[in-house]
Structure 1
Amino acid sequence: MRPRPGRARLSVGFVLARRFTLCAFANFVDVLRLAADEGDRSRPILCNWAVLSDSMEPVPSSCGIGVQPQERLGDPGRFDYVVVIGGLMEDDAVLPAAHRRFLQDAAAAGVPLVGVCTGAFLLHQAGLLEGYRCCVSWFHHADFLERFEGLNPVTDQIFVVDRDRLTCSGGASSAHLAAYLVDKHVGRAQARKSLNIMIIDEALQAEKPQPGITMEFKTRDPMVLRALLLMQQNIEQPFTVAEIARRIGHSKRQLERHFQTALGTSPQAAFLDMRLSLAHHLIVTGDRPISQIALECGFCDSSHLSRMFRRRHGQTPQALRQGHAQDRAGRV
């Protein structure tokens, strides 16, 4: 696509929610910055971008660092995309009325809207996601269902493109969504260059699963979800069930009853399944030593991992890796 005279090939306006996620914003805008010019000189030639506001006051991020807006809201038609960067899910997490009207005007003018991190919540609050599929982080899946009845958010992909609505789960996925837009409007070489400079190996397609391995457990029970998240955050040094229960403010028996009702299994078995699933992923997607994978997944040593892995998968980690390598060689 050739650039229009006097205009960048890709122009993006950013609307930042109060206490937005700085990482998600930085990843998105850095892909644009690196694609916009030769090398990393950062001149907004092929791409341009601006942080928008009605008040022009600094917007605080979730980590406390503020970002100064560059332009007032104005006409949304001057942008190819308007991107809403969400952040902390608080009871009063809503956009100011002027920002909601700006987004509604953008939608009416046919400007595609992008929701990053919890930006999907904010787009929906503005009435702009009805009839659209949207991507939500697995971490916020239960929150979305609780707040927005009748919607079915996608939590097993890193981003979703549904006509003129694009949503992503935040974090590193915002870089991949930005690269998708650069690829579409500027060129694949520029998208690849941006990611490479950011030390990201390759662009991931929308269908790439989110890395939150708790999503293999299908439940909306908030106690179970909190326990699963705590397990995931402490895989290398697994807590006992009693310690997990204590940390989330419940008794061991309560936690065990909730797991049995929600998942038909015990917390111990679910934690083991989680650790073995992570081990399986690391074995087939990388070349780390099995002994290192064992320690990273909370097993005493490679022998301990091998015993548990054979019971679950019917083969040892070494046999799985060898078979996977042979399959890949056969497809080449």
Structure 2
Amino acid sequence: MMTRIAGNAIRPVRFGIVLLPNFTLTAFSGFVDVLRLASDDCDFSQPVRCAWTVVGETLLPVRASCGIQIQPWQTFDEAGTFDYVVVIGGLLHSGPGVSDTTLRFIRRAAETSSTLVGICTGVFALSRAGVMDGHRVCVSWFHYWDYIARFPEVDERLLVADRLFVVDRRRISCSGGRASVDVAAAILQLHIDTATVQKALRILLVEDAQRASAPQPHPPGTKPVDHPRIKRVVHLMEQHIGQPLSLDELAARVDMSVRQLQRLFKVQTGESPLAYARHLRLRTAAWLLRRSDRTVAEIAATCGFSDASHMGREFRKVHGVAPGAYRADRGRFADDEALASDPISAGHDWSGRSLNHTRARH
């Protein structure tokens, strides 16, 4: 609960907000507006229950990905201590990256009693600062492969791309976007009465905050799934494409029996879990053959096949040609309607762009 200070007054919960270059404006505004509305009394926009400060390396404005600029209120050296240090990221592949000064500030905050919060790609900065070791990391499905590429040593069992946000001791990570509202509400409910937080959400026309366990929206190009547990299973398949989880493991992750999972998955997708996972691996392999210079053996390993021969046999069943021939005739297959369900060929590079960028940048 909130801390009482001299005179029986209540000290506001203190938030220090760090905006990274090309941060996502929605993530910032959603988070701060929940703080503002929950903090206020009588609609005066006064920080009564919580207080927030935008801090930065300098007082120069930081540009959001949409072009709007926000000026920090204090420098890192001027800032005091915070209950929460919130790092908000955005675009990964354009503009300057996170500075060494920012990384040092994050490390200093980790040595205090502050809880560190990474929103959107802000968790990449926390990981670069080395303060996420041994903690679960939540990323958007869109940036899952970006994270793997930048932090190849990560224990993939700690990487979560099927939930909106994750709370792990004094580390909180959030997939970004609309989920910034949810994570702000979850934090405030630890310090402020629930009714006040719910009032703030209603003013924002948010019916109710989503729980951390709520699934992220399904990636474009995949079959729409309504059931939240089956959505999570699909995300788990995607994030573990190189080392597929067994049916027992998938069922355990979503607290279902294997029979329940098989029955409900078939109802939701029209396929068995094994067939769906196989088609997902083949779609990803086809995209990598068209867009990357990886060898067939490398692609087979990336997509969870036992070897190149195994992938070749499965690939011929679907595409009628061997992987090598498919790659050689890229122009013909790039417009193949049979690949319309491929989220990558539809222009949504949830796995491939990060692989290509990684090769170019590293």
More divergent stretch after superposition (30-39 vs 207-216):
207-216
Aligned equivalent of 1:140: 143
2:13 to 10, 15, 30: 10
Work out the number of aligned pairs and report it.
241
TM-score of the superposed pair, with normalisation by structure 1? 0.66
Aligned equivalent of 1:128: 131
Q: Secondary structure at the match of 2:160?
A: coil
Whether contact under 8 Å (2:21, 2:95) holds in the other structure is: no
1:50 to 28, 36, 53: 53
String of CA shifts for 1:177-233, please: whole Å, max 9, x gaps: 0000111111211211111111111011100000134455624748749x9xxxxxx
User: Where does 1:1-332 land on structure 2 (aligned, <5 Å)?
Assistant: 1-5=1-5, 8-74=11-77, 78-90=81-93, 93-151=96-154, 152=156, 153-213=159-219, 214=222, 216=235, 218=238, 219=241, 221=284, 224=287, 251-253=331-333, 267-268=339-340
Q: Secondary structure at the match of 2:17?
A: strand
Whether contact under 8 Å (1:76, 1:105) holds in the other structure is: no
Deviation at 1:102, TM superposition (A): 1.0
Structure 2 Cα separation of the partners of residues 29 and 96 of structure 1: 23
Q: Secondary structure at the match of 1:115?
A: strand
CA pair 40-84 structure 1, distance change in 2 beyond 3 A:
same
Deviation at 1:35, TM superposition (A): 0.4
Structure 1 Cα separation of the partners of residues 131 and 140 of structure 2: 19
Whether contact under 8 Å (1:120, 1:134) holds in the other structure is: yes
Q: Secondary structure at the match of 2:4?
A: coil
Structure 2 Cα separation of the partners of residues 173 and 28 of structure 1: 9
Structure 1 Cα separation of the partners of residues 73 and 151 of structure 2: 33
Q: Secondary structure at the match of 1:201?
A: coil
Q: Secondary structure at the match of 1:143?
A: helix
Q: Secondary structure at the match of 2:205?
A: coil
Deviation at 1:255, TM superposition (A): 7.6
Structure 1 Cα separation of the partners of residues 56 and 135 of structure 2: 26
Deviation at 1:111, TM superposition (A): 1.2
Whether contact under 8 Å (1:77, 1:109) holds in the other structure is: no
Following TM superposition, where does structure 1 have runs of at least 4 consecutive aligned residues deviating by more than 6 angstroms? none
Over aligned residue pairs, what C-alpha RMSD do you find? 2.7
Whether contact under 8 Å (1:81, 1:114) holds in the other structure is: yes
CA pair 19-186 structure 1, distance change in 2 beyond 3 A:
same
String of CA shifts for 1:129-187, please: whole Å, max 9, x gaps: 11111110011111111111132221100000011110001100000000001111112
Deviation at 1:7, TM superposition (A): 5.5
Whether contact under 8 Å (1:77, 1:111) holds in the other structure is: no
Deviation at 1:54, TM superposition (A): 2.4
Paired residue type of 1:267? L
User: Among the aligned pairs, what percent are the same residue?
Assistant: 40
Aligned equivalent of 2:227: none
Whether contact under 8 Å (1:224, 1:255) holds in the other structure is: no
Aligned equivalent of 1:307: none
Gaps in structure 2 of 5+ consecutive residues: 223-233, 243-283, 291-329, 344-362
Whether contact under 8 Å (1:50, 1:70) holds in the other structure is: yes
Paired residue type of 1:72? T
Structure 2 Cα separation of the partners of residues 98 and 222 of structure 1: 40
